[in-house]
Amino acid sequence: MQRRLAILTSATALVLSMASAPVFGQQKEKVSLMLNWYLYSEHAPFFLGREKGYFEAEGIDLDIQEGRGSGPTIQAVAAKTVPFGYADVGTMIKIAAKGAPVKAVGVALQKSPMAVMGLSEKNIRKPEDIKGKIVAVTPGDAMSQIWPLFLKKTGLKESDFRTVSGDAQTKLNAVINGQADLLLGYLMDQNIKVQDATKKPVTVIPFADYGVNLIVSGLIAHNDTLKEKPELVRKFMRAATKSFEEAEKNPEAAVDAMLKANSKAGVRESLVVGLKLTTPLYRTAETAKLRPFRVSSKDMNESYNMLVEYGGLDKSAGKAEDFYTNDYLP
């Protein structure tokens, strides 16, 4: 009797362990995701999803790789070096228009983080306050390309202010050291760096608040992956969607998960602030009630038209719908 009871107990335990296993009997597939840059707050949801087991539950052993810019990440996906990339969708469209076989399978940042910003003590709170000031820009980057549209929308002219040029770090230093009043940057990135360096508050004037909204970061895949491994793409997007939803609820946990993976990712307090500034960018008015990554055709078309008019995209490249799909989203 005792032996039968022991066998039954063991069998029950086995059944329970099988039921609780995320993917029983399924060997996990190692899948690499290349990010658009070195680790910062925007990337934390992927680490949270991995820690929570969302990817494991889909049979995915997620390998997260730092990037060196959206361009190289997109090229890595196009070359099948990695199956998935997290990169600027506008940059992807321009590269795909030249023949790269890649497509966006989900847009994470649907509201533009692009902004003009400066120390609050300068009392620059609205576009007209920019008149007579010095603005630091990086020629050729996405923000400087869209800047003329912001000026047009707000009634400003290039002659209303002075411009100084430099790379990303030079631009930061110009504001930190008082050589410029403002810089063009991302509201969850450069403003935090300026605050950390100066210990002073920063005022941000978002482009999107004045009708200039360009979609930014998203997940991309090779066209062959979409055709040959559609179920993998669906599994990946299910896990990614859950990860971003959880990060919205608990940004501190997301940052902690990233810091566990790489303690040099940044200062915890700043990363948490950055992620809290990032999550409101997941949706626009068009997608307010939808889950993350599901971009609207209206937002995509508006961004596509901006790229044609201001971003150097050839009109003959095709239509916005040629470069993205929502078909693999949960």
Give SS3 for 98: coil
Is it the case that residue 18 has pLDDT exceeding 70? no
Q: Which of 58, 30, 108, 79 is nearest to 231 (CA)?
A: 58
Determine phi and psi for 192, rounding to 5 degrees: -70, -40
Confidence of residue 140 (pLDDT cuts 50, 70, 90): confident
Please give the CATH number for the structural domain made up of 27-111+215-322.
3.40.190.10
Those residues with Cβ within 8 angstroms of residue 326's Cβ, 6 or more apart along the chain or in another chain: 106, 293, 294, 295
Is it the case that residue 35 has pLDDT exceeding 80? yes
| Res 314: pLDDT | 93
* Assigned CATH topology for domain 114-210: D-Maltodextrin-Binding Protein; domain 2 (3.40.190)
Runs of H (alpha helix) within the chain: 2-20, 44-52, 70-78, 89-97, 142-154, 168-176, 190-198, 223-228, 230-249, 251-261, 268-278, 297-310
Q: Which residue type sits at 44? A: A
Is it the case that residue 14 has pLDDT exceeding 70? no
Tell me the whole-structure pTM to 2 decimals: 0.86
Same fold across 27-111+215-322 and 114-210:
yes
Domain ranges of the chain: 27-111+215-322, 114-210
Is it the case that residue 91 has pLDDT exceeding 60? yes
Please tell me the distance from the alpha carbon of residue 5 to that of residue 201, in angstroms, as a whole number. Answer: 68
| Res 26: pLDDT | 64
Mean pLDDT along residues 24-30: 76
Return the structure tokens found at 141: 């980057």
